Chains A and B, each alone.
Chain A
Amino acid sequence: MQEIVAIVRANMVGPTKLALTKAGCPSFSCAKCLGRGKKGMDNATLRMVMENGELPRTPTGESLTEVGRLIPKRLFNICVPDDKADAVIRAIIEANSTAHPGDGKIFVMSVEESYVVRTGERVDA
């Protein structure tokens, strides 16, 4: 069994849920979180915006936030059988990709054991 930890944009919970359902793994848990990535401030875009005086679109605006500022995100925890992990990762990437920095990250970890609370039964794979 694999645990997939995905950090996505706050407004992408709906599309992600839909993608998970389509990939055949509808179960997940989701939490509000704040986070920052490894990118610094993009000076070229900043200069462009200052010269044009236009309000940037959201992805651009996000790349202009000061370094170290935490941005609201949503954290998905999804546990899937080993053979479905790749399909689910692909589905999340496809649903969330806008090709801008800040789309998020996916981490994959292996889960040793899992149990169903209702029946007490152990689920492998």
Chain B
Amino acid sequence: MQMIRTIIRPEKTTEVLSELMSAGFPAVTKLDVVGRGKQKGIMVGDVQYDEIPKQMLMLVVNDEDKDDAIRVILHVARTGENGHYGDGRIFVSSVSEAWTISTGKAGL
């Protein structure tokens, strides 16, 4: 299993969530986060903003579904034709175990 954590623009969240749903990824967790990227935040006039509000979506998928989920997120969360700075990141890490609390069973 793979955990996909993606940090995206807050205004893109609804669209990404509904596309993930129709692509067969209903299970998602959403967190409000603030952060900055490689561009060190945004410079507006003399003021630098380096705590930019973003939203983090976290989903755990089977190994074979990973590329599908990433493709959906990349496709929907990108702004314009070629994308812009600040569209976000996707991080993938491997998950060794998953448990469902209500049944106490292992697996997704």
Contacts and interface: CB of A to CB of B under 8 A. Distances in A.
Interface residues on A, range: 35 or more
B95 A33 contact: no
Contacts of B60: 105, 107
B29 A100 contact: no
Interface stretch (A43-51, A90-98, A117-125): A90-98
Contact of A38 (B3, B27, B94, B96): B27
Interface in A46-94: 67-68, 70, 73, 75, 89, 92-93
Contacts of A67: 21, 26
Interface residues of B, number: 25
A24 interface: no
A116 interface: no
Given A109-B3, A109-B94, A93 B27 contact: no
Contacts of A70: 17, 30
Interface string B18-30: 1001000011111
Given A33-B31, A36-B27, A38-B27, 16 more contacts: A2-B96, A31-B31, A68-B18, A68-B21, A68-B26, A70-B17, A70-B30, A73-B29, A75-B31, A89-B99, A92-B101, A93-B99, A98-B102, A109-B3, A109-B96, A110-B96
21 contacts: A31-B31, A34-B31, A35-B27, A35-B28, A36-B27, A36-B28, A68-B21, A70-B17, A75-B29, A89-B99, A92-B101, A93-B99, A99-B102, A101-B102, A105-B99, A106-B97, A107-B60, A107-B98, A108-B96, A109-B3, A109-B94
